[in-house]
Amino acid sequence: MSAQAVLYGIKNCDTVRKARQWLEGHGIAYVFHDYRVDGMAAVPLDRWADALGWDVLLNRASTTFRALEAADKADLNRTRGIELMKANPTLIKRPVLEWAGHLQVGFKPDQYAGLFE
């Protein structure tokens, strides 16, 4: 992994906006990967799932998840969860930050500060 941070998410997400503002306000260079604009091909969901667990990545509180058919939500496992997230990127908790071997899901200023100290 490069020394430059990569922030994954969706541009119009409020939490992603806060994370971007925090990074910019602290002078931290990063690349932003927008799932909708840049696609899912380069998103390492399998590696993230290995590191964190697929269920940590799946946003069960999202409008998208609640709108899924009951059959899609039933008997979720790693394979099915990753397939759903690839097909519906809004199911991935946001943002995901990768930096210097670290993965952070969600945004909390104190957690970001701890990563970049």
Task: Show the beta-strand stretches assigned E in the chain.
Answer: 5-9, 30-34, 96-99, 102-105
Active-site residue, 13 included: yes
13, 52, 76, 115: which one is catalytic?
Answer: 13
First and final CA of the chain: distance in angstroms? Answer: 18
DSSP for 101-113? TEEEES--HHHHH
**Token pair listed for 15:** 């939490």
Distance CA 57, CA 96 (A): 9
Please state, in angstroms and as integers, the Cα–Cα distance from residue 65 to each residue in 15, 85, 105, following that order: 18, 10, 18
Residues annotated as part of the active site: 13
